[in-house]
Structure 1
Amino acid sequence: MTSVHDLWNQSPVQELTYQQTFCAKATLDNEEGKINTKLASFFTMSYCLNLDCDKPQNPDDAKFCLTCGTKLLLKDRYRATKPLGRGGYSRTFAALDQDRLNHPCVIKLFMMPPDQDRKATELFNQEAVRLYELGKHDQIPEFYAHFEQNNRLYLVQEFIDGQTLFDELEDRVTQKGNLYQESEIQDILNDLLPVLHFIHEQGVIHRDIKPANIIRRRHDGKLILIDFGVAKQATIKALVEQGTMIGTVGYAPAEQLQFGEAYPASDLYALGATCIHLLTGIHPFNLYNSLSGCWLWRENMPSATTISPKLEDILNKLLQVLVKERYQTVHEVLKDLNPVDCVSDSRHFLNNVDIPLESEKNIDYTRLRDLLAEHNWKEADKETRKKMLEVMGQKQRGYLDNEDIEKFPSKDFRTIDRLWLHYSNKRFGFSVQKQLWMEEGGKPGVYNLIAYEKFGERVGWRVNDNWKLYSDLTFNSNMVPGHLPLGLSIGWGDGAIELVGVEGAVEVDCLFSRVDSCEL
C-alpha cells in the first residue's frame, strides 16, 4: 500500500497553496506589540515577483528590484517577502500590507497571462469570487483583494498560523507515532461539519476537501478550510472538458471526477475520504478495490487503532459510491455522530454558524438576525423593510423605487438574503423568490405581468385571481416557500400597504435583475 508520502496531491489542478508549504500568521506579542520572532524572518526582505528575475531577494526598504528593476510594491501597498509554494498555475508568497501597519498576508500569483489559458484563469478568479461571496467566517481564510497588474492576476488573503492535517499526518508517520484515533476523528468531524454547513447554505460546494486543504490553527486548535480555487455554486453544473477534472483523485467522488457534478453529498464524501486517510496513513486512492467495489480502509488500520461500530458505519455511509446512498446534509451526519440529545446538539452546531452581518453602509443587522432565529417571521419581515429603507436613506420618504433597488448595495442584499435562507431552512429569501418567479416564466429585466401573477399564486400572495389583504396573511412555519419577505408585494414601506401584491407588478423584474446581478 502507498504511504502518506506517496500520491499525496494527485489533484488535476495541481495547486499547492501557501498553507501546504508554510502556514503561519504573524501573531502580535501582547506586551511589546511586535511580530513574533519565530516568524520575523519571513518579513525582513522584499521579494521580486517577476518570474524571470534571477535574483529576486532585495533589502526590505528597496522600492525596485536591484536585479531587474521591477517595482516591488503591488498596488503601492503589498510587499512580497518570501516564496511559500508553487503549483501548476500559481505561486504563493508571504507578504505585508503596508496600508494596514504591515499586517501579514499572502499573495497568490497566477503565473500565466489571463488570456493564455481560459480555464485556468477562470479557476483562479473563481477562488477570489468564492471567498468574497462567503464573507467573513472564523474558519475560512479572509479575502483581502483581487486585481490584475502588468498582465498578471493576484489574489491577497489571510495568512494562517498553523499546520495542515496532511503535514500533521506526515509528522506522525515520520516519527513512527500513533496515527489518528477515534476521538480525534470525531473532533475533526464536529469541527468541520458546521463549516461545510455554512458554505452549503451559501450555495457553494468546495469540491477539493482533503488533509492538505485543512489547517489546524495554532492558537486555538480550530480547523480552517482553505483553497476555494475549484469551489462552485451548487446550482451550476461544472463544465467538463476533455482532459480536465476538478478535485483530487482519491478524495473526490465519481460524480465529480467523471461528470463534473457536485452536491453537498460530494463534499461529505471527500470528508469521509479524508478521515480514512488519517486513520490508516494510506492515500484513499489505494484503499478502494475497484474490482470488488468496496473500501478496504478498515482492514488497513494500524493494530493500535480501534474504532467503534458507530463511527465505522458513519464513515462507510459518507463513502458510498452512489450519491443517493450517502448522507445528503451535514445535519444527518451530526445526528448520527452525536446521538445523545441529537436534535439540540445538531441545532447548536448549525445555528452557531455565524452569518456575516456585512454592510456597505454600516447597517446593523443584529435585530433582524435575532428575530429570524426566533422564527418571529412577521417582525422579521418588518425589520427587513426598515433596514432596506435605512440602507438607501429613504426612511423619511417611506418607500423604495426602481432606482433605489438598482443601486441597492450587493453586500447588504447578500446579508439579508443569507439570513432569511439560513433561519428558514431555505424556504424564504429574495433568491428563493427569484427562482420561483423564473419557474413561472419570469426573466430578469423583462416585464411580464402574467408571470408575476402566477408567481403571486405560487408564494401565497394571490388566491383565485385576487391579491390577498395584508390583514389576511398568517405568519407561521406552514407558509409556502417564497412567501417572505413581503417587501416586493407591499411597496417596501415600513407601514404595510393593505392590498398585497399590487405594488410588485412594476418592480418585480427590477428586483430580480438586482438579485441576479448580486449572484444571490
Structure 2
Amino acid sequence: MIIWQPGQQINNGRFIIQGQPLGSGGFGTTYKAKETNTGKLYAIKTLNAAMQGRDDFTEQQVKFINEALTIKGFDHPHILKVYEVIQEGILFGVVMEYIDGATLFKHVQTKGQLSEAEALLYIDQIGQALEYIHNKGQLHRDIKPGNILLRQNKQEAVLIDFGLTRSIATRSMTNSLTEGYAPIEQYRRKGNFGSHTDVYALAATLYYLLTADGLRNEGENSPVPATNRRYDDEPLPEPKHYNPRVSQRVNAAILQGMEVEPEKRTPTVLKFRENLGLVVQKPINFDIQQPVKNVQTPPVTQPQRRTPPPNPLPASEEGGLKSAVGQDYKKLRDLLAGEKWKEADEETLRVMLAVAKREKEGWLDPNSIDNFPCEDLRTIDRLWVKYSNGHFGFSVQKRIYQSLGGTRYYSEKIWQAFGDKVGWRKGGSWLYYKGITFDKKAPEGHLPTGKLRRGGRTAGLVFFSRIETCKP
C-alpha cells in the first residue's frame, strides 16, 4: 500500500506533501501539497489503501482517472475545480483546488443548527451547482453536509467529492451511498435514476442543517434513512418537529423533496429551489408603460411600448449624493473619479449591504433588492455611469439585458447571452471574481460585478426589475 508522508516529494519533485491527509473516504485519500516552484497549495486525491489492496485495483484506478477527467470539464464557482491528473509510481493523483475551510457538517457540529436564511444560502449555491452538473448529463449521487466545503471567512459553499458521479443515462449503478441522504433508488443497482435522485439528497442536507440540534438530542446525526421509511413504515418527522422556527414553505418543500417514491418526489433541483422561494416565479414585465407590481392602473392611450433610453437613470449628480437612509457615498464617488474600478466595485458592495442592513449575510437576497431604496440605487448608478462615461452601471447592464429579450422570467439562454455580452462568461463558462477585468477596456456593462448579488441569477433578474421601477 502507498501512503504519502509529510515532506515527501512527488511527481519528480514538483509537489511536496504538507502534513497529514486532509481526509479519507470510502474510495480516496486527499492530501495537501505545495507546488515547489510557485508555493501554491493544492489538494491531491488518490485511491486509498483499501482500494489499493483490491484485486481489481488497476480497473478501479482507470475509473478513478476517467471520473476525474469528467469533473475537469466542470467550471462553476460552487464546484471544486479539478486541474489535472499526475502519476507517482503506480499511483495516480488528481490535482484539485485547495480550499482552506471546513465542511458544512463540521460547521454545524461546531455552531449548531443554522438559521433558515443561512441554510438556504448554501442550499441555493449547491443547488445551482447541481443544475449545472445535471445539464452536463451527470448525477453527483453523494450530496451531504460532509461533501460541501465552506470557504474560510466567506459564506460560500463548494461541492466536493465526485467519487460516485455517474451519467444520468446510466441505468445500472453501484449501490454505494450515505445513509440518511440517499434516496430509495440508490439502494439498488438498477432503478429510476434522474435529477430527482440528487434532489432527495439536497433536501435531506437542508433537513439536517435546520434540525441538527434536535437530531443530536435523539442520538442521530442524519435524517431517517429512506429504507426505514419504506419498509418499516416509519414516517419522516417534519423539520418543524425538531425546529419550530422553520417556515411552513421550507418545511413543505423539504418533505416533498424527500418523498420516498421517485414518482412523487420533486422532479428537478430548479423546482425544489422554486418551492423554497429561491427562484422568482412571478413574471414582471419590463415594458416601460406597464406597472411592475400588481397595481390597478387606468388604461393608457399612448403606445404601450417604446425603446428605453441608453441610460434610464440620469448620469448627473444634481441634488448631491442622495440617500434615503443617510448613507455616505463620498468614498465611492472618489474611487470612481480616480478610476479605481476594483476598489469602487468592493465599495459598492459595502454600501449596498449597509443600506439593506445585510452586512452580516454578506449578500443581497431578492427581497432586499425588491425593497432597496430607489434614491440610493439612483445615486450609485449615476456615479458609475458618470465616471465611466456611460460604459459601466446598473442601468447599462439592464439595458443590455433587455436588448437580449430579458424579463423577470428566467431564461438560461438569455442569461448566458447576457453573461457573454458583459464579459462575465468566457469560453462558455462563468468567470470567478479573480477573472473580472477592472479596466475601462472591459466590455460595456462589465462593472459593477454580480458579486454584490450573490443570490445568483434570481437576484440578478429581480435587480434589473428594481432598476426599472426606480427610474425617475
How does the TM-score come out when normalised to structure 2?
Answer: 0.53
Contact 1:334 1:342 in 2 (8 A): no
Q: Which residue of 2 aligns with 1:291?
A: 232
CA offsets per residue over residues 308-366 of structure 1, 9 Å max, x none? 22111100110011112111122212322228842569xx99xxxxxxxxxxxxxxxxx
Identity level (%): 24
Q: Which residue of 1 aligns with 2:185?
A: 255
Contact 2:6 2:17 in 1 (8 A): no
Q: Cα–Cα, structure 1 residues 328 and 128, in superposed 2: closer, same or farther, change >3 Å?
A: same
> Displacement, 1:155?
1.0
Match of 2:10 among 66, 69, 73: 73
C-alpha distance in structure 2 between counterparts of 1:337 and 1:166, whole Å: 21
> Displacement, 1:265?
0.7
Contact 1:126 1:231 in 2 (8 A): no
Contact 2:35 2:41 in 1 (8 A): yes
Match of 1:199 among 133, 138, 157: 133
1:322 equivalenced with 2:261 (yes/no): yes
> Displacement, 1:137?
1.6
Q: Cα–Cα, structure 1 residues 329 and 239, in superposed 2: closer, same or farther, change >3 Å?
A: closer
Contact 1:188 1:223 in 2 (8 A): yes
Match of 1:151 among 78, 86, 90: 90
1:117 equivalenced with 2:53 (yes/no): no
> Displacement, 1:375?
7.4
C-alpha distance in structure 2 between counterparts of 1:186 and 1:344, whole Å: 22
Q: Cα–Cα, structure 1 residues 274 and 292, in superposed 2: closer, same or farther, change >3 Å?
A: same
C-alpha distance in structure 1 between counterparts of 2:280 and 2:131, whole Å: 19
Match of 1:229 among 160, 163, 183: 163
Match of 1:210 among 144, 148, 155: 144
- 1:315-464 matches, within 5 Å, as 315-338=254-277, 341-343=280-282, 374=404
Gaps of 5+ in 1: 1-48, 59-64, 66-71, 350-369, 381-413, 420-520
Q: Which residue of 1 aligns with 2:35?
A: 97
SS of the residue aligned with 2:19? strand
Q: Which residue of 2 aligns with 1:86?
A: 24
Contact 2:224 2:236 in 1 (8 A): no
SS of the residue aligned with 1:342? coil
Q: Cα–Cα, structure 1 residues 118 and 294, in superposed 2: closer, same or farther, change >3 Å?
A: farther
Q: Cα–Cα, structure 1 residues 180 and 248, in superposed 2: closer, same or farther, change >3 Å?
A: same
Contact 1:126 1:229 in 2 (8 A): no
The count of corresponding residues between Structure 1 and Structure 2 is 288
Contact 1:126 1:230 in 2 (8 A): no
CA offsets per residue over residues 492-514 of structure 1, 9 Å max, x none? xxxxxxxxxxxxxxxxxxxxxxx
Q: Cα–Cα, structure 1 residues 104 and 284, in superposed 2: closer, same or farther, change >3 Å?
A: same
SS of the residue aligned with 2:95? strand
C-alpha distance in structure 2 between counterparts of 1:277 and 1:271, whole Å: 10
Q: Which residue of 2 aligns with 1:108?
A: 45
> Displacement, 1:197?
1.1
C-alpha distance in structure 1 between counterparts of 2:11 and 2:283, whole Å: 49
Contact 1:250 1:285 in 2 (8 A): yes
C-alpha distance in structure 2 between counterparts of 1:125 and 1:162, whole Å: 26
SS of the residue aligned with 2:124? helix
C-alpha distance in structure 2 between counterparts of 1:340 and 1:50, whole Å: 47
CA offsets per residue over residues 13-61 of structure 1, 9 Å max, x none? xxxxxxxxxxxxxxxxxxxxxxxxxxxxxxxxxxxx953x8xx444xxx
Gaps of 5+ in 2: 216-221, 285-363, 366-399, 407-412, 414-425, 431-472
> Displacement, 1:206?
0.5
C-alpha distance in structure 2 between counterparts of 1:109 and 1:234, whole Å: 25
CA offsets per residue over residues 117-143 of structure 1, 9 Å max, x none? 366435522441232121x22111111
> Displacement, 1:256?
1.7
Contact 1:251 1:274 in 2 (8 A): yes
CA offsets per residue over residues 473-508 of structure 1, 9 Å max, x none? xxxxxxxxxxxxxxxxxxxxxxxxxxxxxxxxxxxx
C-alpha distance in structure 1 between counterparts of 2:73 and 2:55, whole Å: 24
Match of 1:270 among 176, 188, 201: 201
Q: Cα–Cα, structure 1 residues 163 and 143, in superposed 2: closer, same or farther, change >3 Å?
A: same
Contact 2:27 2:163 in 1 (8 A): no
Q: Cα–Cα, structure 1 residues 298 and 90, in superposed 2: closer, same or farther, change >3 Å?
A: closer
Contact 1:145 1:155 in 2 (8 A): yes
What code does the residue aligned with 1:77 have? R
Contact 1:232 1:238 in 2 (8 A): no
C-alpha distance in structure 2 between counterparts of 1:85 and 1:309, whole Å: 37
Contact 2:31 2:44 in 1 (8 A): yes
